[in-house]
C-alpha cells in the first residue's frame, strides 16, 4: 500500500469512539481495536494498492533522490557536481535530487550554512558545501526530535502538533530580528515558493 498525504493529508491513530470529521475519507480498522483514519482537507492525497514485491517500481518512489539523512558528505558533494547551474534553495527542495528537505528546512539549513537561497550552485565554495551538509545533519534530527514544525495543518499520527517552530531561525520570521546578528529577516519568492533569510548572515 502506497499512501501520499500531499499538502493537507493526515493519518490519525484514534479510538473508534472519536467522532468522524467531515474531512475523514478512509477508515482502517486495526487489530488492536483502534482506527487509522485518512483525513484530507483538500483531497489531494491518495492511496494505491501495489502488488507484493513491486513497491520499489512505483514512480513515486523510483524518482526520489537519496535520503537527506543517509548521505555521506562525499555523496552530497558529488551530487552538487552534477548540478552545475541553478539556485541552491530550489535545488535542495527538489526531491529527485535529495529527498526529505522541504520549504521550511531548506531555509533553516541555508541559514545555518550562511548561504543565501539565491546563490547559484556553481558559486558554492567547498566550506559552504560542507556547512550545508552539516546543517542537514544537524537540523533534521533536531526537528524530528520535536516531531516537526506545525506551521499550517501538520500534526503527527496522534493528532499532536510538532514543537519545532520555536527553534526556527528564519522561516516564518519575516521582518523579525535575526537571532545571530540582529538584522531584519527577509522573505522573497523563489522558484514559486517563499524563501526566508538573513541578508547579513547569509552571503
**What is the domain-level CATH number for residue 29?**
3.20.190.10
Question: What is the extent of the structural domain holding 22?
Answer: 2-62
Cα distance between residue 197 and residue 66, in whole Å:
26
Largest Cα span, the chain: 57
Q: Is residue 202 part of a domain?
A: no
Average pLDDT score over residue span 130-150: 95
The mean pLDDT of the chain is 94
Residues 74 and 46 in one domain: no
Position 108 scores a pLDDT of: 98
Position 74 scores a pLDDT of: 96
> Which grid cell sits at 46?
491518495
Give residue 85's pLDDT band: very low, low, confident or very high (50, 70, 90): confident
Q: Is residue 140 part of a domain?
A: yes
Residues β-bridged to residue 3: 47
Amino acid at each position: 500500500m502506497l499512501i501520499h498525504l500531499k499538502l493537507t493529508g493526515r493519518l490519525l491513530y484514534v479510538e473508534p469512539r472519536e467522532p468522524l470529521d467531515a474531512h475523514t475519507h478512509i477508515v482502517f480498522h486495526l487489530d488492536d481495536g483502534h482506527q487509522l483514519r485518512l483525513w484530507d482537507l483538500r483531497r489531494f492525497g491518495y492511496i494505491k494498492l501495489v502488488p507484493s514485491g513491486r513497491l520499489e517500481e512505483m514512480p513515486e518512489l523510483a524518482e526520489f533522490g537519496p535520503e537527506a539523512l543517509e548521505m555521506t558528505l562525499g555523496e552530497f558533494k558529488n551530487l552538487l557536481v552534477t548540478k552545475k547551474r541553478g539556485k541552491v534553495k530550489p535545488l535542495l527542495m527538489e526531491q529527485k535530487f535529495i529527498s526529505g528537505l522541504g520549504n521550511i528546512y531548506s531555509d533553516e539549513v541555508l541559514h545555518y550554512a550562511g548561504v543565501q537561497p539565491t546563490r547559484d550552485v556553481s558559486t558554492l565554495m567547498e566550506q559552504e558545501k560542507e556547512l550545508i551538509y552539516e546543517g542537514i545533519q544537524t537540523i533534521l534530527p533536531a526537528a524530528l526530535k520535536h516531531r516537526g514544525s506545525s506551521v499550517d495543518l501538520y500534526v503527527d499520527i496522534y493528532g499532536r502538533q510538532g514543537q519545532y517552530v520555536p527553534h526556527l531561525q528564519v522561516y516564518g520570521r519575516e521582518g523579525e530580528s535575526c537571532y545571530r546578528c540582529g538584522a531584519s529577516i527577509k522573505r522573497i519568492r523563489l522558484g514559486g515558493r517563499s524563501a526566508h533569510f538573513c541578508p547579513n548572515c547569509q552571503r
